[in-house]
Amino acid sequence: MNLEGMRVMGVDPGLTRCGLSVVQAGRGRAVVPVAVGVVRTPSDAELTERLLRISRSVGEWMDDYRPDVMAIERLFERGTVSTVIHTAHAVGVIMLAAAERGVPVYHYTPSEVKKAVSGNGRADKKQMTSMITRILGLAEPPKPADAADALALAVCHCWRAPLIARASQLGAAGHTTNFVSSAHH
């Protein structure tokens, strides 16, 4: 399963700060950083304006860096309901930007990303930032945390992609033969 050269856009969704990254899969487990950044929106701006800003920024990144896939943090309940709802709005416009460009989206929980990147599903922010800095051979740790999280999501997908591809091939192979079972009494 050769996925060398695959470009992955990692997104840590948020309404105030949305982490964006692009990496490219190298040989084996090598991952090359391409870009990292954060889209910020002012908390006093209208929700629609903030969502438009996020959507446009994500779209520009996708147009500039041409990712093959997007890896985004799976939304889960944490904090207040309004925070979850605002993040869900951001996820919606981010996924729409990907859909408009025909880019498939994969979702990962924070613990899946932590386990893939550090081997520990409960790794803290400092451990994760340290691992991402080392894995990508960065001169300094990415800041803020949203940027490091976006890179971790992208790396997670690079390392999970061969398994996903194999599973879908097996799934497709499994569909070539249809077994019909019927109980005769």
Enzyme catalytic residues: 12, 73, 146
146 among annotated binding-site residues: yes
73 among annotated binding-site residues: yes
HEC letters along the chain: CCCCCCEEEEEECCCCEEEEEEEEECCCCCEEEEEEEEEECCCCCCHHHHHHHHHHHHHHHHHHHCCCEEEEECCCCCCCHHHHHHHHHHHHHHHHHHHHCCCCEEEECHHHHHHHHHCCCCCCHHHHHHHHHHHCCCCCCCCCHHHHHHHHHHHHHHHHHHHHHHHHHHHHHHCCCCCCCCCCC
12 among annotated binding-site residues: yes
Binding-site residue numbers for Mg(2+) are 12, 73, 146
Binding-site residue numbers are 12, 73, 146
